[in-house]
Amino acid sequence: MEKKERIGVYVCHCGTNIAGVVNVGEVSTWAAENLKEQGVVIARDYKFMCSSLGQELIQKDIKEHGLTRVVVAACSPHLHEQTFRNACKGAGLNPYLSELVSIREQSSWVHTDKVAATEKSKALIAGGVARVIHHEPLEPLRVPIHPATLVVGGGIAGIQAALEIANAGYPVYLVEREPSIGGHMAQFDKTFPTLDCSACILTPKMVEAGNHPNITLLTYSEVEKVDGYVGNFVVTIRKRARSVNEELCTGCGICWEKCPKKVVDNIFEAGMGTRKAIYVPFPQAVPKYPVIDRENCTYYIKGTCKACEKFCPTNAIDFAQEDQLLNVEVGNIILATGYELFDARRITQYGYGRLANVFTSLEFERLSNAAGPTGGNIVLRDGKTVPKVVGIVHCVGSRDKNYNEYCSAICCMQSLKFAHLVHERTGAEVYNFYIDIRTPAKGYEEFYHRLLEEGTHFIRGKVAEISDAVRLPGEEGKLIIQVEDTLTGNQLRVPVDMVILSAGLEPRRDAKEVANKFGISCSADGWLIERHPKLDPVATVTEGIYIAGCVQGPKDIPASVAQGAAAAARILGKIQQKEIALEPVRASINQDQCSGCRICNNLCPFNAILFHEDRMVSEVNPALCQGCGTCVAACPAGAISGTGFSNEQILSQIEGLLLLNIPKKETVA
C-alpha cells in the first residue's frame, strides 16, 4: 500500500435498536485500536448517526482529521446509504468513498446472544474498512428522462395518476385491458361512507381522461414487453383488434342494438346480466367505441350475420382489423392494475354457485345499481322476490389461512354499506356476521354507528356454513346460516332469504407475470412490493417503476386515489429535473487486457457489450449496462472490472470479514 488512507469509523446506537444488543462502545474502541493498521484514525459511537447531529459529527471529522474514507456501521444500505453519502459530499469528500455496514438488520435485530452479535459486528466493520480502502471516487451517471409516462391500468388509481401528470403538461399513455376505463369503481352503486353515487363521481374523471390532449388512451390493450431503464423505457403495447374503426365510429349504439347475439357478461355485470357480442361494457364507457367479442360473434363463429355492419351508419365495422403492436418511449411507468375478487366458490360450505340466493359482493353491487340488470331492485335470483331477511357474511376468503391470511381492508365498510342499502330499499332485517369490525378511516366509525342505530343486527362470529338443510320450524325455504354468537357462546341457526358474501380482494391472477415483465417483485401473497412499506409506498426497487392502488395491496377508493396522485407527483418531480442520476455501478473492459474471446458478449441480458471486429475487443456501453457484474465474474482474462464491486473490493471485504491481518489485542469489555 503506497499511500495509507485515513479512515473514520462511526458506530450507530440507533437508540436501543443496535445498542440494546451490540456493545457499541466496545465495537468502536476495538475498531480504533485494532484497525489502526488498516488506516482507521478515529472511531466513534453515537446515538443516531443519521440525525443531523450525527452527520455533522462525520463532516467535522472529515475536515479536522483529514479523513479520506468513511465507514458507518448502522442500518441497511437500502435505508441510509444515500444519507451518509450526502454527508460526505457536504464535507467535500466524494460520496462513493463511504461504506455503510449493516449491524442492525444483520446483527442486533436478528441475534439474541449479545457477545456473538458484538463480535459479528466487529467482523462486519472490519470487512467494511477493508473494502472502503479500495473505493474509488465516482460520479453518478446522468441520463436524460423522457417526459412521457406509461400508466398501466385504467381504474380509479390509474385515471387519477394519468390526469395529474397530463394536467401538469406531460404526455401519458394510459393502457387498459378492458374495452373501457373505469375499473371496479364503475361497477359500484354507492361508495362508503358518504354514499356518493359511484358513477356520478367517476364518470367526469373518465371523460376528462378520454378527452385530455396529453393522454393517449389505449383500451383493449396490454403491455407485451418492457425494455430499457429509468428515463428511457421502450414499451411494446398490443392494441387488440376492436373490429371497429375508431376514426369512423361515432358510438351511436345502433350496432349493439341490432346485434342478435346475447352473451352473459361475466366481467362488468359479474354474471348478473347480458351484453351483445358487439358491445360497450356500460353506457358511460370511455372510449365510446364498442368492440366485437370475436369468441362469441356469430360472424366469427359461423361466417354469416354481419348485422352490425349492415346497420352501421358510418361503415365503421372492420371485421378484418388486426392487432397492432405499438412501441412507445417513456421515462417512467405506473402500474395500477388493481385486484381480483376472491372466488367464493372455493369456500364450498358457503354454497356460492350451489345455493341460488347466495350472492357475492360484486353481484350485489350490480343488483343494487340503478343501471344494473334489475334496475337497482334488490331481489332474489328469481328476479322478483324481495328478501325479508338478509345475512351479510364478512371476511369471505380473508383472514383465513386456508385462503388468504391478510385482511382485505374494505369488506367491513362494504358490508355496512350493503346492510344500509338493503335496509333502505327493502326494509328487510339485516344480519351482519363479523369477526371484528374494522373502520379505521375518516367517517367510517360514524357510519358503523349509523348502522347500529338503523337496527342492523351484528353477530360476532365467523360463519361456519350456509345450507338449505331444514331442521327446525321456520326454516322451510330459507337459507340457514350456522354460526356461533361468540359473545354469548350460543350456536345459532339464522334463517335468511338472501346471503351476501363479502368476498376479499386478491392479486390479479397474472400479477407474478406482470411483476416479472416490469422487473419488480411480488410478496408471498402476490401483491407487488413497494420500496419501503412506510416511507416509500408508491416506488419500487426498480427505478422508474411506480405502483398505485390495489396492485400494492387491498385498499379503498380514497387510498387508491391518494396513491395514484402520489405516484404521479413522484414522477413529475423526476421529469422536471430533466435528467436522472444513476448509480455509477457499471462494468468496463480494459481493452489492452481483452483477448476478444467474446464469452461476455452472450452473457449480457441487456446487449450492452459490443464487439469491435476490427480490433477484436469487446466494449461495454455504459448507458445500457445495468451493473450486474456477471461479465466481470466470467472474464477469463480478468479484463472486465465492475465499478463499486471490483474484485479488490470484494476480496478485501472477505479478508476483513474473516479478521485476517488484524492483531488480536485484548479488548476491554
Nearest distance from C-beta of residue 130 to other proteins, angstroms: 11
Stretch that binds other proteins, among 117-125, 147-155, 281-289, 560-568 (CB under 8 A): 117-125
The CB density around residue 540, as the number of other CB atoms within 10 Å, is: 22
Tell me whether residue 290 or residue 629 sits nearer to other proteins (CB atom).
Answer: 629
Which residues are CB-neighbours of 589 under 8 A, at least 6 positions away? 600, 609, 617, 618, 619, 620, 635, 639, 640
Nearest distance from C-beta of residue 629 to other proteins, angstroms: 3
How far is the C-alpha of 381 from the C-alpha of 634, rounded, in Å?
Answer: 66
Q: Answer yes or no whether residue 461 interacts with other proteins by CB under 8 A.
A: yes
How far is the C-alpha of 215 from the C-alpha of 209, rounded, in Å?
Answer: 7
Q: Answer yes or no whether residue 423 interacts with other proteins by CB under 8 A.
A: no
Stretch that binds other proteins, among 169-177, 242-250, 320-328, 644-652 (CB under 8 A): 644-652
Stretch that binds other proteins, among 139-147, 363-371, 483-491, 545-553 (CB under 8 A): 483-491
Selected from 348, 385, 590, 595, the binder of other proteins by CB under 8 A is 348
Judged by CB under 8 A, how many residues of this single chain contact other proteins?
Answer: 85
- Using CB under 8 A, which residues numbered 37 to 76 contact other proteins? 76
Using CB atoms within 10 Å of the CB of residue 79, give its burial: 0 to 12 exposed, 13 to 18 middle, 19+ buried: middle
Stretch that binds other proteins, among 264-272, 312-320, 332-340, 600-608 (CB under 8 A): 600-608
Nearest distance from C-beta of residue 351 to other proteins, angstroms: 9
Q: Answer yes or no whether residue 435 interacts with other proteins by CB under 8 A.
A: yes
Please provide residue 278's backbone torsions phi and psi, each rounded to the nearest 5 degrees: -105, 130
> How distant, in Å, are the alpha carbons of 124, 394, 467, 483 from that of 492?
60, 17, 13, 5
- Using CB under 8 A, which residues numbered 579 to 598 contact other proteins? 585, 597
- Using CB under 8 A, which residues numbered 363 to 422 contact other proteins? 395, 399-402
Q: How many residues does the chain have?
A: 669
Tell me whether residue 246 or residue 484 sits nearer to other proteins (CB atom).
Answer: 484
Q: Is the separation of the CB atoms in 12 and 50 below 8 Å?
A: yes
How far is the C-alpha of 410 from the C-alpha of 395, rounded, in Å?
Answer: 10
- Using CB under 8 A, which residues numbered 497 to 526 contact other proteins? 516, 519, 521-524
Selected from 113, 257, 323, 446, the binder of other proteins by CB under 8 A is 113
Tell me whether residue 167 or residue 647 sits nearer to other proteins (CB atom).
Answer: 647
How far is the C-alpha of 563 from the C-alpha of 428, rounded, in Å?
Answer: 38
Element housing 655 (H / E): helix 647-657
Nearest distance from C-beta of residue 493 to other proteins, angstroms: 10
DSSP string, 212-234: -TTEEEE-SEEEEEEEEETTEEE
Q: Is the separation of the CB atoms in 518 and 493 below 8 Å?
A: no
Selected from 94, 106, 245, 321, the binder of other proteins by CB under 8 A is 106
Q: Answer yes or no whether residue 1 interacts with other proteins by CB under 8 A.
A: no
Please provide residue 204's backbone torsions phi and psi, each rounded to the nearest 5 degrees: -60, -35
Selected from 245, 439, 542, 667, the binder of other proteins by CB under 8 A is 542
Q: Answer yes or no whether residue 309 interacts with other proteins by CB under 8 A.
A: no
Nearest distance from C-beta of residue 122 to other proteins, angstroms: 10
Q: Answer yes or no whether residue 123 interacts with other proteins by CB under 8 A.
A: yes
Task: Give the three-state DSSP class for 464.
Answer: coil
Nearest distance from C-beta of residue 425 to other proteins, angstroms: 29
- Using CB under 8 A, which residues numbered 608 to 637 contact other proteins? 626-630, 632-634, 636
Selected from 65, 385, 660, 663, the binder of other proteins by CB under 8 A is 660
Per-residue interface string for the shown chain with other proteins, residues 254-293, x marking contact by CB under 8 A: ----------------------------------------
Per-residue interface string for the shown chain with other proteins, residues 167-196, x marking contact by CB under 8 A: ------------------------------
Q: Answer yes or no whether residue 470 interacts with other proteins by CB under 8 A.
A: yes
Tell me whether residue 165 or residue 335 sits nearer to other proteins (CB atom).
Answer: 335
Q: Answer yes or no whether residue 248 interacts with other proteins by CB under 8 A.
A: no
Q: Answer yes or no whether residue 648 interacts with other proteins by CB under 8 A.
A: no
Quick one: cell of 486? 361468540
Tell me whether residue 332 or residue 426 sits nearer to other proteins (CB atom).
Answer: 332
Q: Is the separation of the CB atoms in 270 and 360 below 8 Å?
A: yes
Which residues are CB-neighbours of 488 under 8 A, at least 6 positions away? none
Q: Is the separation of the CB atoms in 22 and 656 below 8 Å?
A: no
Q: Is the separation of the CB atoms in 502 and 392 below 8 Å?
A: yes
Nearest distance from C-beta of residue 645 to other proteins, angstroms: 6
Which residues are CB-neighbours of 312 under 8 A, at least 6 positions away? 254, 255
Selected from 315, 349, 577, 590, the binder of other proteins by CB under 8 A is 349
Selected from 144, 169, 313, 638, the binder of other proteins by CB under 8 A is 638
Q: Answer yes or no whether residue 89 interacts with other proteins by CB under 8 A.
A: no
Which residues are CB-neighbours of 262 under 8 A, at least 6 positions away? 274, 275, 276
Starting at the edge strand found earlier in the chain, the sheet holding 98-102 runs: 40-46, 7-12, 69-74, 98-102
DSSP string, 507-569: E-TTHHHHHHHHT--B-TTSPBPPSBTTTBSSB-SSTTEEE-GGGGS---HHHHHHHHHHHHH
